[in-house]
Amino acid sequence: MKKITVSVCLAVLMISMAGITPALADGQEPEPLYRPTEFGVYPSSQTVFTPSYRAVWQVGISGDGTNYCIQVTWGDGCGTYRTCGYTEGIYTIYHDFTCGGSSPYYQSWMLYNGPDTPKYDSSVVYK
């Protein structure tokens, strides 16, 4: 009886390993279920001038999300900007640095509400 139990256990183990081995035999990593999300803000540094003190950024998003959200803290006392509905692409976001505070202004950027998020970036504005 003991010999049959050991044989059955070995057979089950070999069958289960046989199902796994072909997928790993070629040394390839399994494909992810989604493309990894990439997020970037350009330029990372800029200087603004009168009369509007407007800074403009190009925000790049790549990945499989269909409703990404962007959050930016401006660093000038104007609060935080939040907006959603982004897909893969390049978008223009701007802000007028007229709320006060003193230069330099540091921005914190966050992409969220998608696979493999949140993602972060930062920038700085001089006035």
Determine, yes or no, domain membership for 90: yes
Determine, yes or no, domain membership for 27: no
| pLDDT tens-digit readout, 97-117 | 999 889 999 999 999 999 899
- If you average pLDDT over residues 79-93, what whole number do you get? 96
Dump strand ranges (E) for 16-126: 38-42, 45-47, 54-62, 68-73, 80-86, 89-96, 105-112, 119-126
Q: How many domains does the chain have?
A: 1
The CATH number given to whatever domain includes residue 90 is 2.60.40.10
| pLDDT tens-digit readout, 68-77 | 999 999 999 9
Percent of the chain residues topping a pLDDT of 90: 66
Model pTM greater than 0.85? no
Please report which confidence band the pLDDT of residue 29 belongs to, taking 50, 70 and 90 as the band edges.
Answer: confident
Domain of residue 53, residue span: 38-126
Residue with tokens 């998003």: 61
